[in-house]
Amino acid sequence: MKISTKGRYGLTIMIELSKQYGQGPIPLRQIASENHLSEAYLEQLVSPLRNSGLVKSVRGAYGGYMLAKPPHLISAADVIKVLEGPIQPVEGIENEAPPQRELWIRVRDAVKEVLDKTNLEDLAKYTESTDDSNYMFYI
């Protein structure tokens, strides 16, 4: 299963909001600037995250976005499902021959388990305590 830039950058938005949880709204331009990403693209991603109830927006000069609930209550799976759709390694699993179908179901379930067990608080804490040269995350 390949997660697109939608899922990856969506997680980036959510991790950045997690790092600053409880400090008020964060402007999307700040997240874009700090992560060297396109603000326009992040704007496209934050809309479905807001519509799904994962983030809230605040208008005005000091506006921006913030998590709608605490980071430990939002899983990586929540974010990926909103931006990427259902988690499945191949399409049409039900049409596969039994041995292959079982394999693809096990792969899907393993990926879902990792994404379900990983919450934004874990990811935010991890990114604050590591550098890019030693980047491993154990669940």
Domain ranges in the chain are 5-134
Per-residue pLDDT at 137 = 53
Instruction: State pLDDT tens for residues 26-38.
Output: 999 999 999 999 9
Domain 5-134, architecture per CATH:
Orthogonal Bundle (1.10)
pTM of the model as a whole: 0.88
pLDDT at residue 128 tops 80: no
Q: Report the distance separating Cα 112 and Cα 96, nearest Å.
A: 20
Confidence of residue 133 (pLDDT cuts 50, 70, 90): very low
- Percentage of the chain with pLDDT > 70? 92
